[in-house]
Amino acid sequence: MTERVKRKILPIGIQSFREIREENYYYVDKTALAIKLVQEGKHYFLSRPRRFGKSLFLDTLKELFAGHQALFKGLAAEYQWDWSLKYPVLHFSFGGNNYNQLGHAECDLQEQLSKLEKQYQLIPDSTSCAGRFKSLILHLKA
């Protein structure tokens, strides 16, 4: 009898780098490009069509900066990234929400800031989004 080889499947709709790597989906290695952008760039505007990998690319950057080395085994980043350095990552998502009414975006931002403050054990000293964001940055910089 022949043994069936389990095929990898395409990660259609999956935006989590961790899930793709841990569940053994097909992945086209773009980590060398990610590192080049980090090392050589200053500001980038990612303009790509919908469903073209922007969220997955940003999630890949998040995992790099968070220092999750095991996820990059066998990829270019495994040997090109300084794994001794880790950085806090602030992830804000505005996709999939309806901001047609005044105040919805601010309410959503307040909720996301609350989650980050809890994650980093910070008690907000301001009620404004700008003040809370500044406090969060200063707290993480310290």
* 2 and 64 part of one domain: yes
Q: How many domains does the chain have?
A: 2
* Range of the structural domain that residue 64 is part of: 1-83
* 110 and 53 part of one domain: no
CA angle 31, 22, 91 (to 5 degrees): 60
Span 57-71, average pLDDT: 96
* 42 and 104 part of one domain: no
* 12 and 74 part of one domain: yes
**Which residue type does 64 have?**
L
Contacts of 9 (CB under 8 A, 6+ apart): 25, 26
Span 2-23, average pLDDT: 86
Task: Write out pLDDT tens, residues 110-131.
Answer: 999 999 999 999 999 999 999 9
Q: Over 90: is that where the pLDDT of 52 sits?
A: no
